[in-house]
Amino acid sequence: MPDAVDQPSPVDEPARRPEATLVREVAAVPVQATILRQILARWARERGLAAELAEDLTLAAYEAMANVVAHAYPAGADGTMTVEARVDAAAVTVTVSDTGHWHDGDSRPGGGRGLLLIRLLAPEVSVTTNPAGTTVRMSWPAPPAR
Query: pLDDT (tens digit, 9 = 90+) per residue, 46-65?
Result: 999 999 999 999 999 999 99
Question: Which pLDDT belongs to residue 135?
Answer: 97
User: Which positions ≥6 away from 59 have C-beta within 8 Å?
Assistant: 117, 121
Does the pLDDT value for residue 118 go beyond 90? yes
Domain limits, the chain: 21-141
Q: Could you give the CA distance from residue 81 to residue 123 in angstroms, rounded to a whole number?
A: 23
Question: Which pLDDT belongs to residue 1?
Answer: 42
Q: Could you give the CA distance from residue 130 to residue 107 in angstroms, rounded to a whole number?
A: 20
Per-residue pLDDT band for 84 (boundaries 50, 70, 90) equals: very high
**Average pLDDT over all residues of the chain:** 85
Q: Following DSSP, what letter does each residue of 85-141 receive, concatenated?
A: EEE-SSEEEEEEEESS---SS-SSTT---HHHHHHHH-SEEEEEEETTEEEEEEEEE
pTM equals 0.81
Percent of the chain with pLDDT over 90: 68
Percent of the chain with pLDDT over 70: 79
Per-residue pLDDT band for 43 (boundaries 50, 70, 90) equals: very high
Identify the CATH number of the domain defined by range 21-141: 3.30.565.10
